Amino acid sequence: MTIENWLYSIPLKLRSLFKRKRVENELAEELRFHLEQRTEQNIASGMDPESARLEALRAMQGLEQSKEACRDTRGLNLIDNLARDLRYAIRMLRRSPGFTAVAVLSLALGIGANTAIFSLIDTLLLKPLPVPHADELRTLALKGNQPDRVLVAVTYPIFQALHKYNHVFSGLFAWSNYDFQMRSGPDMVHVAGTLASGEYFSTLGVKPLLGHTFTNSDDQSSGGPNGPVAVISYRFWSKHFHRSPHAIGSPLVLDRTRFTVIGIMPPDFFGAEVGVHPEIWVPLAIGGNLFDRVCMASRSCWFLIVMGRVHPGLSALSVNAGLQVLTPPVLHDALPTDWPPPLQKTFLERHIIANDGAHGYTWMRFLFTHPLTVLMTLVALVLLIACANLANLLLARASARNREIAVRLSLGAGRPRVIRQLLTESILLSLLGAAAGLAFAWWLTRILASFLISQPGPGPSFELDIAIDWRVALFTALVAGGSGLLFGLAPALRATHSGIASLLKESTHQLRRARRSVFARFLLPLQAALSVLLVAAAGLFGGSLFRLLHLDPGFHPQRVQLISLDTDKRPEKNAALAALYTRILERIQTLPGIQSASLLWLTPLSGGGWDQPVAIPGRSDLSEDQRDTYLNLIGPGFFETMQIPLLAGRAFNSADTAVSERVGIINQFAAERFFPHKNPIGEHLILDKTPIRIVGIAGNIKYLDLRDPDPPEMYFPYTQKSDGMPSLTFVVKTKPGARSLYRDLRTALHEIAPDVPIGTPKSLQQQLEDSIARERLMATLSLFFGALALLLTSVGLYGALAYDVTRRTGEIGIRMALGARMPDVMWLVVRESTFLVTGGIVIGVAAALALSKLVASLLYAIEPNDPRTLLGAVAALLAVAIAAASIPALRAARLDPTVSLRSE
């Protein structure tokens, strides 16, 4: 047909869609006119009026059929029928609210869980950066000869060399996250910021909302032509400048340095690091020079992430070839010459590689890709169970609707038409489930995201903006449509399979062996197998978490709060700074409600650590690795506050000062390893050529990671730190029932050190839990999904058996009348299911054994094929199955034969 044809046909189609009544009336009138004319003609030829009318109708071959044939020509049947099917489906679903509720709820949980996990995967792995042509971006990394040694962070000298020799990328930039100190009212606060190199904005290709961004000419260590400049986020602009255009050119004092605001970024811009939302961008050269001079100059301070943009259409092959040429001069220029020769050699053997950068950079990817993949699989299995369940319920319903379907078929509805109508019902169900599932997903993603961002890691606090974008919407729609087809197609095919006659006959409750279809017999073992798999996963992850939670960290976190200070910008350094800390600590100890208080540098399980090999006189037999010791600075009262036992010797006290003898306390493990045959008290360890006298032995604590074995540990008094005194954290144990001390603490700090930013207080318990966020995530979700699987399976089993019993009431009555006893009847009901569930369990156990290796790296202190976990999973499923089966079985056994026979 040509376009001109459509000029006629489209208005006609629209007219029949939207002026249906009028079009129908016209059709009826047209045919009535014809019938009248024919009748008149027949009368004229001598028929009596009645037979004349009937003859006319016969010639028309059925008035309604003719009308339908005319309607068919409109080509709108698809839409028409869909609307009619939908109306009918809604009516059917409303007529059985119980079934609808169970179906929608189980689908909502299944689809919602899938959507939630997918939206996390989308956020972390799939969503491209909101910048033009994100697919041209690459993240650079240094690959070593061992496959697992990939460095994504580089040093400033490496970046400088990359920039100098670059001929591969049209733009190349580096950045590092940095928390600025800024005054906000009476407080000094931290503001998340980014130190970005000159081509950061131009390479990302993002234009500012107002003003302009900085370039290479601003990225100078002494500041560009405009001095130190800063670009601010939309959020920062709203909060601090109330979206005034005069913000451009305004001064902004960061870390006591005056910057000039030159640009404001659009609201959706966050840079190149997913999860990090900087408020301020400052040129790397000047920012680094002002705030992190040591790191900028160092050839072994790995703090920059580098990204580049390749020319469009450049193949991966030519990029790699270019990088191969680039690698030797860059590594040569940036070689850490102070490293021992073997390490220098390894350094020079590295290769610069380009990884995908379209999705930005986030360290969370390294940590969560595997867990999320596992979770995605688990939720897919849950949805599969839900689908199997619904297929089962629909099969039962379809048999109950045999007569209705038979009537439809005999009235001339084609089989595809009936199947389509049944499918409309199941797809409507799954769409309803998806709608409810989206609400569930919204809630679940927030919980999931809180797990993810609580995981301690490098860098500032995380925000994951998980939105339902088109990928998530498409995914949900596909999952919903797919599951609707999955659980709806087989029952629909089966319902329309047998001939009309047998369908009509069957509804007369004739006595015949009620065998379930092959398909139904396949569903139950499938559900059982999947349930075993999910419950086993729940057992493994739950078991890992249980073991971690019952691990003794070596300290007691109850009622212990951690409050960090940032004194890096204080004029006092070293001894003077230590004195400041002492003054603050003394003040804190006088506050009411405090049981004890101390301070330390690195809080346990925070993800940060300081380790170095120590020298032990007379123990040249120990390797460097064996002598590697985890170090920390602590204050007086630390062991009481943390309730770490002091096993021998003394704690630090006020006599340990900058001028007194250097002293240290080692942990039990260090004492056993370094001094196996003598009392370590009074012995010396040598750190950085300084001898340190051991004055005490403390209990082991978990330092870096709860999952690691206890390392050798050594404490020093902060008062003896002679140079590079870091910011410390107060550790405060409150009396039972004491209210939060944060306000008192803040007031006290304002008096002593008014411009020191105070971190948000965090309980040590929270820190402990955050450090195992991944395990908690896996355990919580897998337990939830395991329970859901059991629930769905039991509902499915119960539904199938209950339906069987109803259908076989007559048969059961006859058997009872013939002398069958209660156990016989019960066995009759559950016999088939028993075999099916047992078969499913066997398959499930085999699958669990085969698949559990894939999650081994996510487990702690539990073998992937832990026999007790598997047995537990089987037992749980059996218990649930027996409970679900016993209700219909008992009902069957209690049937009164006389009543049930009458039910025929």
Partner 1 sequence: MSKPSDLVQGTLDLLLLKILALEPLHGWAISLRLKQVSGDILQVSDGSLYPALHKLEQQGWIKSEWKATENNRRAKFYSLTRLGRKQLDNEAANWKRLAGAISRVVALEEL
Does residue 610 interact with partner 1 by CB under 8 A?
no
Instruction: Please tell me whether residue 24 binds partner 1 under the rule CB under 8 A.
Output: no
Q: Could you say whether residue 69 binds partner 1 (CB under 8 A)?
A: yes
Taking CB under 8 A as the rule, does residue 661 contact partner 1? no
Residues with Cβ within 8 Å of residue 14, at least 6 apart in sequence: none
Contact between 317 and partner 1 per CB under 8 A:
no
Integer Cα distance of 697 and 679 in angstroms = 10
Stretch that binds partner 1, among 70-78, 112-120, 498-506, 616-624 (CB under 8 A): 70-78
Which CB sits closer to partner 1, 59 or 817? Answer: 59
Q: Is 74 in the site for partner 1 (CB under 8 A)?
A: yes
Which residue has 């010791």 as its token pair? 629
In angstroms, give the least distance from the CB of 3 to partner 1: 10
Q: Which residue, 76 or 90, is less far from partner 1 as judged by CB? A: 76
Smallest distance from partner 1 to CB 82, Å? 19
Q: Is 29 in the site for partner 1 (CB under 8 A)?
A: yes
Residue of the chain from 14, 28, 51, 72 that contacts partner 1 (CB under 8 A): 72
Q: Does 9 bind partner 1 (CB under 8 A)?
A: yes
Q: Which is nearer to partner 1, 51 or 96 (by Cβ)?
A: 51
Q: What angle do CA 579, 580, 581 make, to 5 degrees?
A: 90
Would you count residue 413 as binding partner 1 (CB under 8 A)?
no
State which of residues 17, 43, 47, 60 lies at the interface with partner 1 (CB under 8 A).
Answer: 60
- Smallest distance, partner 1 to C-beta of residue 409, A: 19
Among 15, 17, 53, 66, binds partner 1 (CB under 8 A): 66
Return the HEC string of 280-331.
EEEEHHHHHHHHCHHHHHCCCCCCEEEEEEECCCCCHHHHHHHHHHHHHHHH
Question: Which span (29-37, 657-665, 841-849, 873-881) binds partner 1, by CB under 8 A?
Answer: 29-37
30 vs 586, beta carbon nearer partner 1: 30
Question: Which residues face 140 on adjacent strands?
Answer: 354
By the rule CB under 8 A, 75 interacts with partner 1: yes
How far, in Å, CA of 218 to CA of 862, rounded?
55
Q: Considering the rule CB under 8 A, would residue 15 count as an interface residue with partner 1?
A: no
Q: Which of 49, 54, 62, 679 binds partner 1 (CB under 8 A)?
A: 62
| Cβ at position 815, least distance to partner 1 in Å | 53
Residues in the chain: 904
- The torsion region of residue 181 among left (phi > 0), alpha (psi -120 to 50) and beta comes to beta
Binder among 46, 48, 61, 709 for partner 1 (CB under 8 A): 61
Q: Is 30 in the site for partner 1 (CB under 8 A)?
A: yes
Residue 29 or 349 with smaller CB distance to partner 1: 29
Q: Decide the pairing of beta strands 628-634 and 713-717.
A: parallel
The C-alpha atoms of residue 498 and residue 488 are separated, in whole angstroms, by 17
Q: Specify the residue, 2 or 508, whose C-beta has the smaller distance to partner 1.
A: 2
Tell which one of 19, 22, 26, 96 touches partner 1 (CB under 8 A): 26
C-alpha distances out from residue 818 to 59, 260, 536, 825, 901, Å: 61, 98, 45, 12, 12
With binding defined as CB under 8 A, does residue 350 bind partner 1? no
CB atoms within 10 A of CB 525: 21
Task: List the x/- string, 40-59, binding to partner 1 by CB under 8 A.
Answer: ----------------x--x
At its nearest, how many Å lie between partner 1 and the CB of residue 60?
Answer: 5
Q: In terms of CB distance, is 61 or 623 closer to partner 1?
A: 61
* Closest distance of CB 418 from partner 1, Å: 20
8 A C-beta contact, residue 463 and residue 235: no
Q: Distance between CA 109 and CA 441 in Å, rounded?
A: 8
The Cα 314–Cα 133 span in angstroms is 13
Place of tokens 């001390």: 741
Cβ closest to partner 1, residue 66 vs residue 838: 66
Asked if residue 315 binds partner 1 (CB under 8 A), the reply is no
Residue type for 640, please? E
Per CB under 8 A, does 5 bind partner 1? yes
721 binds partner 1 (CB under 8 A): no
Please choose, out of 73-81, 533-541, 832-840, 874-882, the segment that lies near partner 1 by the rule CB under 8 A.
73-81
Residue 273 to residue 280: CA distance in whole angstroms: 14
Q: Tokens 């460097």: give the residue.
A: 624
Query: Could you say whether residue 309 binds partner 1 (CB under 8 A)?
Result: no
Number of shown-chain residues binding partner 1 (CB under 8 A): 32
User: Is 7 a binder of partner 1 (CB under 8 A)?
Assistant: yes
* Helix or strand run (H / E) with residue 353: strand 351-356
Residues 204 and 362 sit within 8 Å (Cβ to Cβ)? no
Nearer to partner 1, 42 or 567 (CB): 42
Name which of 2 and 146 has its Cβ closer to partner 1: 2
Of 1, 44, 294, 818, the one binding partner 1 (CB under 8 A) is 1
Crossing angle of helices 20-44 and 49-59, rounded to 10°: 130
Considering Cα of 274, then 276, then 277, then 279, what sign does the dihedral take?
A: negative
SS3 (DSSP) at 189: strand
> In whole angstroms, what is the distance from residue 242 CA to residue 654 CA?
50
Distance CA(676)–CA(171), nearest Å, equals: 58
> Which residue's entry shows tokens 């839900």?
386
- Residues interacting with partner 1, by CB under 8 A? 1-2, 4-9, 12-13, 26, 29-31, 33-34, 37-38, 56, 59-62, 65-66, 68-70, 72-75
